[in-house]
Amino acid sequence: MTLRPSSHAFWLSLALSGAGLLAQGAPAAVPGSFADNPIVYFLMTDRFVNGDPSNDGSYGRKREALPKDDVATFHGGDLKGVTQKLKEGWFKQLGVNAIWITAPYEQIHGWVQGGKAEFKHYAYHGYYALDYTVLDKNMGTPADLKEMIDTAHAQGIRVLFDIVMNHPGYLDLQTAQDLKVDVLFSGVEKATLRSYHNYIDYNSFKFADWWGRDWVRAGLPGYIDGGRDDLTMQLAYLPDFRTESKEAVKLPKFLKEKADTRAVDLPGTTVRGYLIHWLTDWVRTYGVDGFRCDTVKHVEPEAWAQLKAEGVKALAEWKAANPASKIDDAPFWMVGEYWGVGPALHKMHSFGFDAMINFDFQNDEGEFAKPEKLFASYAKLQAGMPVHMLNYLSSHDTKLFDRARLVEGGAALLLAPGGVQIFYGDETARPVGYEPRTDYQQGTRSDMNWSAPDAKVLAHWRKLGTFRSRHLALAKGVHKQLGSSPYTFSRTDAATGDSVVVAMGAKGEATIPVTGVFKDGESLRDAYTGRTATVAGGAVKLQAETYVLLERAN
């Protein structure tokens, strides 16, 4: 993933020229908070850009020679890589106003069996936490994190952490050795995918030296077994944090003895209290602007409400201490992943969530070619309230959208009411990676295709993304169909006076109706082509290139 000098020069020149093209003639953005129009770019840090190859082999992690074996190893992406793309203007050119990165805190060190013993599965995705208080060395240093967040903030871009309160990671062979948890048989260096579990003594009560029964359900000697309901079950056999417990706990033995941890005993604190303290400390220290919360349905709602309240306090404290580094005074923001939730207002909005990920959008792809029904229904659900749904086209947990339809799909996503989640590489047509037979989702997490982007798709997403970033009416305005051939609609936000008219499927000399939105004599700009036209007789005439994105020219 390290860029060759020639490749780096190409992307930098493209970024600079592209930024100039996008800025030329574009009107100022309509005032509005991030919560009014979130455009979130979700990147899997390890698969994005390798900014510092020196940290690639941290904790003895290794890559594999064959793609089928290497699919779930650490590939080298890090925080410096994200900073590099920020400095090149990558996110600004897409209209992005928030970056969601995978959890950067320390993960389990080694690998576990992936799929049905098909590949070595490392914690490159950030969902197998070990120590919530320090950065994973593969991600970089505290200085790298500070630079990344400060660089983002200087561009008006927020930073969101992916976080998990439901479970920590497994106790893998390497981590057990590193932590000196004496549950391994001799000869672990000979362990293979097939023989992995033969080297772990699952009858040993030494597992108590790990998290301990007061902290997690684990189905191990001395531990409580996982339950049968959403709140107490062990997802994928992972240890389940006892966040519902009202009992105070002490720091686990492994953390007390871990040389580099920042965790300390917090007398009278519950499991939930420790987790919230650890997570919000990143906010208080670095100015993290919000969280994307994983496995929301598997943690009691009250825990999320408490996390939000503490996050709000922590961010306010950081902003008070770092006034020159903040974007604005907007509060801490949270979006939740509650499996299967659609676009309607969800019960979890009463427990601290500003938005929920909308799983329905990707499944509605049959409506993307004729999106009026979809747009109208979403606009109705969104009417009169802050944006509460985050739509996505592709995801690391589901599938990548059809690579041949990313122009059509991108238009549906970036023009739909609600908030937007861009999955890294949808804007460049990143190819699907190797898909293991027993875990095909690994294929959604391939390395970013910096050396071979689809130029047509990228140009399209940039035009739509920057247009959206200027117009909160697209996210939460009143929707009205103005024409059927080409399909034309308006969105208007009465509170700010922001209005746009969009046509889809317009080609050549086109007449676009704007009655009720723009007045005769007004000068309009098509953000897709940069051409301008004057309203006459309730319409504008111009040369169209499939999509017409009309906004006031000044």
Nearest to 335 by CA among 319, 352, 318, 347: 352
Identify the domain boundary among 445, 476, 507. Answer: 476
Whether residue 469 lies inside any domain: the answer is yes
Report the length, in residues, of the chain.
554
By DSSP bridging, strand 98-101 and strand 39-43 are: parallel
Are 508 and 459 contained in the same domain? no
Identify the domain boundary among 476, 506, 533. Answer: 476
Structural domain that includes position 529: 478-552
Whether residue 176 lies inside any domain: the answer is no
**241 — alpha (psi -120 to 50), left (phi > 0) or beta?**
beta
pLDDT at 533: 97
Radius of gyration, CA atoms only, the chain: 24
Whether residue 183 lies inside any domain: the answer is no
Region 229-242 average pLDDT: 98
In the chain, how many domains are there?
Answer: 2
Region 257-277 average pLDDT: 98
**Which CATH number characterizes residue 545's domain?**
2.60.40.1180
* C-beta of residue 79 within 8 angstroms of C-beta of residue 286: no
pLDDT at 379: 97
* 483 CB burial (10 A radius; 0-12, 13-18, 19+): middle
Are 388 and 454 contained in the same domain? yes
Whether residue 157 has pLDDT greater than 90: yes
Are 441 and 322 contained in the same domain? yes
Query: Token match 């940069």: residue?
Result: 530
Q: What is the pLDDT of residues 112-137, one digit of tens each?
A: 999 999 999 999 999 999 999 999 99
Whether residue 204 lies inside any domain: the answer is no
Share of the chain above pLDDT 70, in %: 95
Q: What is the pLDDT of residues 19-65, one digit of tens each?
A: 333 444 577 766 668 999 999 999 999 999 999 999 999 999 999 99
Whether residue 284 has pLDDT greater than 50: yes
Whether residue 135 lies inside any domain: the answer is yes
Identify the domain boundary among 441, 476, 511. Answer: 476
pLDDT at 10: 34
* C-beta of residue 421 within 8 angstroms of C-beta of residue 391: yes
pLDDT at 200: 98
Are 407 and 496 contained in the same domain? no
Are 408 and 317 contained in the same domain? yes
Are 312 and 388 contained in the same domain? yes
Alpha carbons within 13 angstroms on the beta-carbon side of residue 520 total 3
Nearest to 420 by CA among 61, 109, 95: 95
Whether residue 7 has pLDDT greater than 50: no
Whether residue 15 lies inside any domain: the answer is yes
Are 314 and 400 contained in the same domain? yes
Are 458 and 318 contained in the same domain? yes
Are 329 and 418 contained in the same domain? yes
Region 335-357 average pLDDT: 97
pLDDT at 31: 60
Are 303 and 319 contained in the same domain? yes
Q: At what angle do helices 301-321 and 271-286 cross, to 10 degrees?
A: 30
Catalytic annotation, residues: 294, 337
Are 319 and 359 contained in the same domain? yes
Whether residue 348 has pLDDT greater than 60: yes
Question: CA-to-CA distance for 77 and 75, rounded, in angstroms?
Answer: 6
Q: What is the pLDDT of residues 410-455, one digit of tens each?
A: 999 999 999 999 999 999 999 999 999 999 999 999 999 999 999 9
Are 337 and 428 contained in the same domain? yes
Whether residue 257 lies inside any domain: the answer is no
